Chain A
Amino acid sequence: MPRELSVGGMFMPSLLLVFVVALGLLALLDWVAGRYGWYRHVWHPALFRLAVFVGVFAALGLAAMRGD
């Protein structure tokens, strides 16, 4: 994946796209976790959510940037 994407002639860092995708994934995960009450087994839900987000974003970002 290239480092920058051209959107209508403007250059955007492609990590921004990855960031948005990671946010979407987190929202999905959050919904599922809320639906089935998974957060009850977690000590600090907010910190857990943040950690999951960092993990997802880092994994996606590294995967996207591997070619360079």
Chain B
Amino acid sequence: MSAAASMAAWRGAWGEAFAGAGRAWLFVFKAVLAVCLTGWLAMRFDLVSPYEAMITCAIVINPASGMVVAKSFYRALGTLVGCGAAVLLVLAFPQQRALLLTGMALWLGVCAGGASLHRNFKSYGFVLAGYTAAIVILPVLDDPSGLFDSAVMRVSEVMLGILVAGVVSDAIAPQRLSRALRANIRAGFTGFVGFVCDSLAGVLQRGELEQAHLRFVRESVEIENLRSSVIFEDAGVRVRSPRTRRLNQRFMAASTSYQSLHHLMNRLQGDEHTAAREALMTIFVELAGAIRRVDATASVARQAAELVQSLDATTDSLQMAIGQARASLRGPIVQLDFDTGAELTRRFAAELRAYAQAYVDLAGPTSRHIAMSRHERAFAHGNDWLGAATIALRVVVVMLVTGWFWIATAWPGGSYAMLMAAIFCGLMASSPNPLGAVRLMWRGWVLGALGAFVCLFAVMPRMDGFVLFVAGLLPFLIAGFYPYTRPALAPIARSYVLSFLIMTELDAVTVYDVPAFFDRAAGLLLGVALTGVAFRLFANAADNRFLYRRLLDKLRAEVTRACRAPLAGARERLESASRDLFMQIIGYTGAGSHVAHDFMAWGLSVGEAGRAVVDLRADMAGVAPPLRHQLQLLVEALAGLYDAPGRLRYLRTRRRLASALRVADRLHETRVLRHLHLLRLALLDRQSVLAQYMLNVSDEVRHAA
């Protein structure tokens, strides 16, 4: 073998070995650089505790760059707010340790609760508003006269950490989230269109529909979450942000309609519905043909544009196919079945076209102005205030217990316990599996303490000057930052790095005080332990039946809201908030569990019924007064049913629906009739989650008659 060939073989082997690890090592390099740079600058600037700046840097740094910038922005805001709160608290209770600590505990509780109410990086701002207040107040608890210096120093340190972390991760080989966002949007579009194309002419069972629902919900929530972080990193994405939300809204609308269509087809089983089913199939084939005409090898933007044209060109032939298919049907019931399905198909085709158009607009130049309504640019989140209150209470209790212990024992490690508990209660407030994370934190703490001990007492005394100081730190930091890139190990790594940095208390002049070191270590241990106990006592919705039921009620309340809230924006609110709530529960429980299955069934029912009600209300305005009155009664009954489902309410809704149907039939209000028929089929579906409120079969037959 020639030398060149063996070199090439070597390079291939190396490339393979480091392909996955390359990104991780790049992150380790950046993280270590940022932490050391922060330490150096902090020492150059003569800041009192450089390690606070380094801790900040370690909390802020993240494998994806956009996240760092987003975090930094909210973190800077949170720092200033937290500092202001700390100053106000100390000014309010200058000589009252107990009151000051209580006030601080309450403030931390408010911050942790606020953190759980927000997704991604806004929640960081809250966590850090609490953390900054704690690190400003704790050193001046006995000496309020040092307040101003403490506040200025802590803010300077935290800001320095934020700044360095932001600059390092943004300027050196950034890992862009905007790329992930674009890929997600593209995959969402091609995935949905492909799914429709494959399944339109076939049959989807309930289980498959649930899986599809989960997938589409996850995609739209992920796009929204990514969008809200990427706007901090990419000016182009920021400008297109309204269009991205509009695309997402239309995606949600189209996917809900598509599911309704499949539910309808599943409900049209049995001999009496066969004719309508087969007639509907012919128009599905027509629509699927239009979608299939798109060239799948072209770029996605091109595909979207072609889909718009193709759907535009099909409008007439679709209408004609509907007319032909209807002409062959006999009997009012069969025709109503068919009309309902045809109306739904038309609506779905229009929404698919709107979705493709939104994609074309998103990919197009930003200079062209696009008119859009305020509601289309929104994404509503669903939140549970009581869940946030539980989290707040958890933090307050931990802080009060730690603070009381600290005051009662006058133990110098107490302030470290408070600091650690404050950081972790906040950071893990909305973690899906906090108990598991606490278990990992323990190990991180043990490793961090061991590392800090070795580093502080075996390595540092031999290191003279900044270069050697960094060289001594390197192995410990690299070992901590490498697991950051593995999601399963991230809690350990986080806890390790934090305990390591807190316990070594690095400074230009390092203090070698063994008893003080053990005080710090025991303090951190107490902080971690109390956090663990608190997470067990005040569990989140995953382990708490009560909170879970509340989230489920919240999900159902979206239908009630769709019935009662002003019509403008009701559909957008329903689509986004129900998806957001849905993903919260799935995040807590995992997709496979039994609870999640129950929840999924409700999610499908809420999406379908909510949508049907909104459409019904939109067509309600123009109908004759007696019918409108009936419809109002029906909408009110539906609101009641989803507010607190039960047999009686279910029966009342069915009765109202039946009388509304009679009146609409008498008045020949065809559009309303179709909406009502769709709702009736949904209410009668034996596979849906509402089936549990039905009477037994013989009663059903009597009622249906």
Contacts and interface: CB of A to CB of B under 8 A. Distances in A.
Interface of A: 10, 30-31, 33-37, 39-40, 44-47, 49-50
Interface residues of B, number: 15
> Which one of A10, A34, A46 has the greatest number of beta carbons of chain B within 10 Å?
A46
Contacts of A49: 170
Contact of B170 (A10, A35, A37, A50): A50
B236 A50 contact: no
A37 B171 contact: no
A50 B167 contact: yes
B171 A47 contact: yes
B235 A39 contact: yes
Given A36-B367, A37-B366, A31 B235 contact: yes
A37 B236 contact: yes
Contacts of B174: 46
B671 interface: no
B214 to A, nearest CB: 34
B235 A34 contact: yes
Contact of A35 (B65, B167, B366): B366
Contact of A34 (B65, B167, B236): B236
Q: Is the interface of B mostly helix, strand, loop or mixed?
A: helix
Interface of B: 65, 148, 167, 170-171, 174, 233-236, 238-239, 365-367
Across the A-B interface, the 8 shortest Cβ-Cβ residue pairs:
A34-B235, A46-B170, A34-B239, A47-B171, A50-B171, A30-B235, A46-B174, A46-B171
A1 B148 CA distance: 25
B77 to A, nearest CB: 13
A8 B611 CA distance: 57
24 contacts: A10-B148, A30-B235, A31-B238, A33-B235, A34-B234, A34-B236, A34-B238, A34-B239, A35-B235, A35-B239, A36-B367, A37-B236, A39-B235, A40-B236, A44-B171, A45-B234, A45-B235, A46-B65, A46-B174, A46-B233, A47-B171, A49-B170, A50-B167, A50-B171
Contacts of A39: 235-236
A46 to B, nearest CB: 4
B240 to A, nearest CB: 9
Nearest to B233: A46
Nearest to A30: B235
A35 B236 CA distance: 7
A22 B65 CA distance: 23
A40 B170 CA distance: 17
A47 B236 CA distance: 16
Nearest to A32: B235
A1 B240 CA distance: 41
Contacts of B365: 37
